[in-house]
Amino acid sequence: MKILPAIDVRGGRCVRLRQGRAEDETAYGDDPVEMALRWQGEGAGFLHVVDLDGAFRGRPAALPLCKALAAALSVPFEIGGGLRTDEDVAAALEAGAARAIVGSRAVSDPASAAALAARFGADRVVVGIDARDGFAQVAGWTETTAVRATDLARDLASRGVRIFAFTDTATDGMLSGPNLAAMDAMARALEPFGASLVASGGVHAPSDIAALRALGRPNVEGVIVGKALYEKAATLAEFAAAAEEPLPEGPRP
């Protein structure tokens, strides 16, 4: 299981939002590249970058940042936020991102999102599903749809999408622990298709990593950790160790 430090960028700064609310922002640094180098230096093997300006505006705003990150880093990163068109995804990948994350588009037009995975490679296009109370959210989490997140995931996986990032928005930025039931349901929905899941939302301690692993879902390939790192609830090394420690023997859920 990989630990992916999150770098959320808004107005050129590294920030974290509580439950995705734009008005509830905490800044943690003025240089996203410097922050990325910090996490790389602490052992991160993959980074998760979110263009919050792009997410709220519906068009990418961080392509120059992509290029700067690609030039500075020796580890790969993925980026999402406002990637609504084929051209947006192509530009993000050409700018140096290893993976591009599409979200709102996948809800409104699953077929076109799946076509992106076919065009650019199923290992380079991630579908980000953000949900509250089990229903998908779009437009930077400002709109909740009538689409069940697990139904959307099954549909997309049946069309060939192979990597999903799933965020429970009620827990994101709250340091309250992940929604284990929601993560388990999503992983279970993807298993028949051989699709993998990166879990996000609420992680506050290494014990949360152990709890996610204890679900016994081998397709949970990674966990995004944000505020817990910035608030120094635990170090990246401690989270990474929890992702590798042997789990107790016994029946899994």
What lies within 8 Å, CB to CB, of 226 at 6+ separation is 5, 6, 8, 16, 172, 173, 200, 203
CB 224 within 8 A of CB 193: no
Residue 151 annotated in active site:
no
- Catalytic residue, chosen from 8, 51, 88, 172, is 8
Q: Which residues make beta-bridge pairs with 137?
A: 130, 144
Say if strands 135-138 and 143-148 run parallel, antiparallel, or are unpaired: antiparallel
- Catalytic residue, chosen from 88, 130, 172, 208, is 130
Residue 8 annotated in active site:
yes
Which residue's entry shows tokens 């020796």? 74
Phi, psi dihedral angles at 45 (to 5 degrees): -105, -10
CA 59 to chain centre: 18
DSSP string, 24-63: SEEEEES-HHHHHHHHHHTT-S-EEEEEHHHHHHTS---H
Q: Which residues are catalytic?
A: 8, 130
